[in-house]
Structure 1
Amino acid sequence: MTYSKGHTALVLVDPYNDFLAEGGKLYPGLESSLKSTGVAPRLVSLVASARAAGVPIFYAPHRQFRPGDFDGFAFPAKVQVGIKAVEAFKFGSWGGEFYEGLEPDIEGGDVVATEHFTYSAFENTNLSFQLRKHGITHIALAGLTANTCIEATGRYAVELAYHVTMLKDATADFTAEALKTSVDINYPGFAHEVKTADEWLKEVQP
């Protein structure tokens, strides 16, 4: 498998301080997974390597919490209930900022899609419009968390007829079991490829 540079992109999902940085509101639940797999530094390296290789990066951020979000929702999703309870990724807060080293380089060509409210970064956002507009047919997914936003985004991308690669060592989860199930069972069941970040980078067409 090789990935044409002109049609391949890295999609980075929810790289917020509240997930990835010590002191983040959701970091304590992810700490074991993040540290055991070295996800934060790997994501930083992945982004730098992708840029060096000329691969565009599309950011797929979760909704930054604002007062009133989810009020009146008939059936709020568990993720929405949890975000509201702790005001995760709060707009204007440090926790709602992108992790150091993962900030978008807009002038360099990075694209930040509109925010998703639930799990899939495609639902009710302009992510697919942005990808199509830039001629992207092949995407690789990295970010948080493995069994929710990453998996939902990957499944949705397959439905939209993208070629989907799941980067199995560029994500984390709240339990080891959830991470293992996603990477070893769920991802191979729907994705076109499941690779490490280094394996994918080596196959991006020079």
Structure 2
Amino acid sequence: MSQTRYEHATTALLLVDPYNDFLSDGGIAWPRLKDVAEEVGLLDNLRAIHAAARAAGIRIFIVPHHQWEPSDYEGWRHINPTQQAIMKRHSFAKGTWGGEFHPDFVPREGDVVVQQHWGQSGFANTDLDMRLKQHGISHVVIIGLLANSCIESTGRFAMELGYHVTLVRDATAAYSHELMHAAHELNGPTYAHAILDTAALLDALPR
């Protein structure tokens, strides 16, 4: 993969599912993520990229999963395995602490919070593509959770829509090392234009 230039006017940071249930001690999913997340330095890397994007004038798009409510999925014909798990665990429940954004990633003025995605892609059945295009975005840097589901699905969809896609190995996590390997070494190279670590991305962002 060739060296990519990230211009502030045409690059967006997509921060996927930055909920307490994923990122905070006490969150529903945190115990399953903790080992991998701490090994890669997930929170520190998310903070560093988040701050660097702001400093560079890169617009931040929050790409949130649907917040669970008790009536969700009633009468649905094809509930996927992730949705079945959410029904059981009540991840990202609306009106709960776990369903709130991690305090370090609460949207600020100028950030874009897109419509919540029901499945795994931040593009499917949301306004993400339209809002990126309205801001003249051609390059997306995708960070957040989970590496092998929402990050991968959002990245693949972005590629299909014609965006330049960057993944960041240590600014995401998954429930196992095997899933991280699949996301970055097996699947990522089939759709991403750049796969970097946080240090390399920070070096490539405009000053």
Provide the TM-score with structure 1 as the length reference.
0.96
- Residues 100-111 of structure 1 mapped to structure 2, 5 A cutoff: 100-105=103-108, 107=109, 109-111=110-112
After TM superposition, give the deviation of residue 38 of structure 1 in Å. Answer: 1.2
1:54 aligns with 2:70: no
Partner of 1:89 in structure 2? 92
Deviation, structure 1 residue 198: 2.6
The residue identity in structure 1 corresponding to 2:100 is: E
Pairing of 1:120-139 with structure 2 (within 5 A): 120-139=121-140
| Structure 1 runs of 4+ with >6 Å offset | none
The count of corresponding residues between Structure 1 and Structure 2 is: 204
Instruction: Determine if the alignment matches structure 1 residue 33 to structure 2 residue 66.
Output: no
Using the alignment, how far apart are the partners of 1:138 and 1:197 within structure 2? 17
1:42 pairs with 24, 42, 45, which one?
A: 45
- Residue of structure 2 in register with 1:18 after alignment: 21
Q: Give the match's secondary structure for 2:26.
A: coil
Matched residues in 1 for 2:32 and 2:194: separation? Answer: 28
Following superposition, the deviation at residue 40 of structure 1 comes to 1.4
| Deviation sequence 1:19-75 (CA, Å, 0-9, x none) | 111100111111111111110121122111110111110010000111111111101
Q: Alignment identity in percent?
A: 42
Residues 1-206 of structure 1 aligned to structure 2 (within 5 Å): 1-105=4-108, 107=109, 109-206=110-207
Q: CA RMSD in A?
A: 1.0
C-alpha displacement at 1:102, in angstroms? 1.1
Shift of 1:6: 0.5
After superposition, the C-alpha distances for 1:182-206 in whole angstroms (9 at most, x for unaligned) are: 1111111211111112322322234
For structure 1, the residue ranges without an aligned partner over 5 or more in a row are none
